[in-house]
A = this chain, B = another copy of it.
């Protein structure tokens, strides 16, 4: 395609390298970018480079942050004795959005996956164990409800048990508002097993 040589072609290639963006979307985005003022394009481009250059891991919980210590870990009103372990910063963001969790987090940056060759040494477990040497009451494991997430949860649980610190796992079950007929059997069984008296 002649007209996708040069600068437009390069931009379309770059955009379609992003996850979830196919050639058609990349094309649409590229023409949008060409249609907005250059200052706006610079703002967009700079926001990406600036973020990448300035974001680092929080020294405490390892989430991505602008500061040495992220705002959550720096907040003295949060319960620093309660640590929720999540796979990545997006999961942390999801729990923060509930606005109800008062503890702090620990970001693993991955999950154990024998299939993908990701072992315990490849996720931030050493850092978690180091934090547990401090004053911690409970570790809540909030890894995903996938095979990798469950494997990781099991592994962490066994690792922490000897320390005597309470370890819990977030509940699996039917999503609120979920229609039973569309939910897979494994989830339905989990919901049954996890039933509570009312």
Binding site for B on A (CB under 8 A): 1-8, 10-11, 13-15, 17-21, 25, 27-34, 38, 41-55, 63-66, 70-72, 75, 88-90, 92-93, 96-97
B47 engages A3 (CB within 8 Å): no
Which residues of chain B come closer than 8 Å to A32, judged between CB atoms? 18-19
Of A20, A28, A34, A51, the most chain B CB neighbours within 10 A belong to: A51
A98, chain B: closest CB distance, angstroms? 11
- Select one of B3, B42, B92 contacting A89, CB under 8 A: B3
A28 engages B96 (CB within 8 Å): no
Number of copies of this protein chain within its complex: 2
User: When A14-B47, A27-B90, A43-B14 are in contact, do A7 and B38 touch as well, CB less than 8 Å?
Assistant: no
User: When A19-B29, A64-B34 are in contact, do A2 and B90 touch as well, CB less than 8 Å?
Assistant: no
Task: Tell me, in angstroms, the Cα distance from A1 to B32 when the chains sit together.
Answer: 29
- Select one of B20, B28, B52 contacting A19, CB under 8 A: B28
A14 engages B44 (CB within 8 Å): yes
User: When A28-B19, A45-B48 are in contact, do A93 and B3 touch as well, CB less than 8 Å?
Assistant: yes
User: When A3-B92, A55-B34, A97-B1 are in contact, do A48 and B18 touch as well, CB less than 8 Å?
Assistant: no
3 shortest interchain CB distances as A-B pairs: A45-B45, A6-B66, A7-B51
B8 engages A48 (CB within 8 Å): no
Task: Tell me, in angstroms, the Cα distance from A11 to B17 when the chains sit together.
Answer: 18
- Chain B's closest residue to A97 (CB) is B1
A2, chain B: closest CB distance, angstroms? 4
User: When A3-B71, A28-B90, A90-B31 are in contact, do A51 and B97 touch as well, CB less than 8 Å?
Assistant: no
Which residues of chain B come closer than 8 Å to A88, judged between CB atoms? 31
Task: Tell me, in angstroms, the Cα distance from A2 to B3 when the chains sit together.
Answer: 44
User: When A10-B51, A20-B25, A52-B41 are in contact, do A70 and B3 touch as well, CB less than 8 Å?
Assistant: yes
